Structures are given as structure tokens and as C-alpha cells.
Amino acid sequence: MQDLQTLRTELSEMVDQAEWEWLMPHAKRDAIVIVDASLDLLDVGVAIASDNVSAVQHWISEQQLYKPSPEQLTDWSTDRTHRFNALIVQPYVLVQELRTAA
């Protein structure tokens, strides 16, 4: 297995912004995982890709990693241009909502 720094570098190059419309096919296959804004998307991606079960279980238990609710999916589907930071870590697509300035 590659070292964590190499993995982190590779994953950092894959973080990008995405509109909800682009993420909808992943939502349909139940692959979207929301990463709480208090967490670093890249840290979560590295933990999942490196099978850091204890960290991932901790974030799940703290409700910092979770599947979108039906209400969230509906809200996002009404505004398909809603934007997220996204990172694909097979088979998941990790997303964090981008907050728009008011």
C-alpha cells in the first residue's frame, strides 16, 4: 500500500467543485456521503482510502459523516446548480456544501 503522503497528494489533485446536477447520478446509486464542514474533506478521503476504520467510525458516530436525507436531496434537486466540494473515493463521492455569501 502506498504511503499516506503519496495518497494525500493524489487525492488532493482530485478535489474539485461540482454542481448538484453532476452529482445526481451518484445520489441515485446511494454513493453520496456528506462531510461536515468542521472536517477537512481531504483528511476524510485519506482516512477512507487507507481504511482508517476508527477515524471513520468516530466521524459517523459524531454525525460528521452521513448520507443525505430525503429532504436534502429534494432541496438540492430544486436547485441543480447548488455547488459542493467533491472528492471521489471509490465507491463513495464525498461532498461538502459550498455556502454562498448572503
- pLDDT (0 to 100) of residue 100: 61
- Point out the least confidently predicted range of 46-50, 65-69, 95-99: 95-99
For residues 56 and 82, give the distance between their C-alpha atoms in angstroms, rounded to a whole number: 26
The SS3 call for residue 33 is strand
Non-local (6+) Cβ contacts of 54 within 8 A are none
For residues 67 and 65, give the distance between their C-alpha atoms in angstroms, rounded to a whole number: 7
The confidence band for 102, taking pLDDT boundaries of 50, 70 and 90, is very low
Each domain of the chain, given as residue ranges in start order, spans 4-97
pLDDT tens sequence across 11-56: 999 999 999 999 999 999 999 999 999 999 999 999 999 999 999 9
The SS3 call for residue 89 is strand
The SS3 call for residue 10 is helix
